[in-house]
Amino acid sequence: MTKINRKTGDNNPMLLFEDAFLQVKNEIEKALTGSPLIIREYLSHLTLSQGKYIRAFSVLTASLNADRMVADDAVKAAAAIEVLHLASLVHDDIIDDSELRRGSITLQKQYGKKTAVICGDYLLSLALRMLSGINEKEDYKSLRFPDYVGRLCLGELNQHINNHNLDLSLYTYLKIISGKTAALFEAAFFAGAVTGKKTEKEVESYKKIGHCIGMIFQLSDDCLDFDTTMLEAQKPVQSDYDNGVITLPLIHALHNDVSFKSHAQKGNLTRKEVDEAVRKSDGLGFTRIMINRYYSKAMKAIKMLSIENNAVAEVIALLDKAARFDQKKKA
């Protein structure tokens, strides 16, 4: 792999995008399998269920320069954010008592909840350590990584507090997912723009794009819980309501069908009743309308990027992927 310095004496070498993406994967695998022996077996298990590295891809995309190259610091940030995301998934699986993640047995199912909690905490420390290796220390300070970790945690806590809350408002729900999902995507695009030395105006645009893409990913997942099989999703579906999580399609049904809400407040709703109420109120259609709104906001922010910006096509591709426009048409 060839590294090219931006200038003589620069300690932050540049890599071709494709090489950088491979390097991110290598950094993560090395971090997981090279951890202390006492925890290595557990973290190595997580390599069986690695995802598509969408957040890492986001960092590298936002960092792209006109020659389709990214800074080495973007690789470090991308790897750190992916490891942080992995930590959040380990904890999510404990909370949801999930047995399957990305087609593989979850850590908590394989080794128990206590071990999984400790491993999730260790992954957070590992992410912080990886990020601290950034060459440009001023960039490291400006990334506000702890703030984004805090937003992620508060989003998860807010969701937990509102479990089984049949009065959950649209505003509160969007606030929840803004933390639990969108914060990390915003952090990814922010980190890429900063390490890519974008202008202050472009950094703000990338943050908005990341936030919108994160919101879209979560809202799309809300739809998947109602209209996708477990085989397609490679994780349990139709499980949000069973775990007390009230998502947007159901929120819409509860707000638009008084008799259904009254029945729900008495408890003992069947999954068939939930699905029928969502279908009757077109909860999926409403959710996709919200997806399209965030899509439009993201496109507006994309238009604020420089015309010659090499990342525009890749950012739009990420946006389409989040909205599942490769699988569905706009609502």
What DSSP string runs through 230-250?
HHHHTS--S-TGGGT---HHH
30-54 confidence digits (pLDDT tens): 999 999 999 999 999 988 777 789 9
Asked whether residue 3 carries a pLDDT value surpassing 70, the answer given is: no
For 251-255, what is the mean pLDDT? 96
**263-292 mean pLDDT:** 92
Query: How high is the pLDDT of residue 91?
Result: 94
Distance CA 303, CA 298 (A): 9
More confident position, 240 or 26: 26
The span from the CA of 77 to the CA of 128, in Å, is 10
- Give the per-residue pLDDT at 309: 64
Each residue's pLDDT tens digit, 89-112: 999 999 988 898 878 899 999 999
Report pLDDT digits (tens) over 226-250: 875 444 545 555 567 777 899 999 9
Q: At 107, which amino acid appears?
A: L
Q: Which two tokens stand for residue 235?
A: 């994780």
Contact 308, 66 (CB under 8 A): yes
pTM for the full predicted model: 0.89
Query: If pLDDT is split at 50, 70 and 90, which confidence band does 1 have?
Result: very low
Q: Which helix (H) or strand (E) holds 70?
A: strand 69-71
Percent of the chain with pLDDT over 90: 70
Alpha-carbon distance 295 to 213, whole Å? 8
Q: Of 243, 222, 223, nearest to 99 (Cα)?
A: 243
Judge contact between 244 and 113, C-beta under 8 A: no
The confidence score (pLDDT) of residue 188 equals: 97
pLDDT of amino acid 241: 77
Topology given in CATH for the domain delimited by 14-322: Farnesyl Diphosphate Synthase (1.10.600)
Distance CA 329, CA 255 (A): 26
